[in-house]
Structure 1
Amino acid sequence: MPGSAAAETVLPKLADSLKETLQQRNTVGSDVERMLGAHPLSSLLISMPGVGVRTAARILLEVGDGSAFKSAGHLAAYAGIAPVTHRSGTSIRGEHLA
């Protein structure tokens, strides 16, 4: 069959590359879990329903310890979960999340 020789050459290389990538992913995942476990806010974040290792790590990467925000409301607005009311002149539209 045409191309079967190429497939015999390419497929094992792709399989090896995939194995290596999966090993690297596992190593990085272990590193992230270890570093997250050392962070003082990790246990608080992970205790929240729906927040696991990946989400907690992402939150800490995005906002750090939160000291860059003046208040919890500022952090909520940054995250897009603070209610917002749109007003224009005399019309007021309903509230929704930012």
Structure 2
Amino acid sequence: MSSERGLWPHQSEAVEKICASLTTPGRATAVSACGTGKTIVGAESSRRIAPHGRVLVLVPNPGIAGADRARLRDPPRRRRWSDRRGMR
């Protein structure tokens, strides 16, 4: 399933672990470095856990909320690192 969303291996592993830890009601915390795709991991985990339901996402400030909203609706496809930075 990870290949259809274009997840990197570390993101696929995180999604699998998050979903496994939330098979019963509760909460989970995923810690990852900046730029590793935490929003994408959260979006894919949410899609798997509640495919037909709603998910509440809380963020610390409005700036993050706007950026995350766009990514959650249409997550980026996997790209080479050089493409992300505008380099060819």
Give TM-score, length-normalised by structure 2.
0.26
Rg (Cα) greater in structure: 1
Considering Cα pairs closer than 8 Å and 6+ residues apart, tell me whether 1 or 2 has the greater RCO.
2
Greater share of helix: 1
Greater share of strand: 1
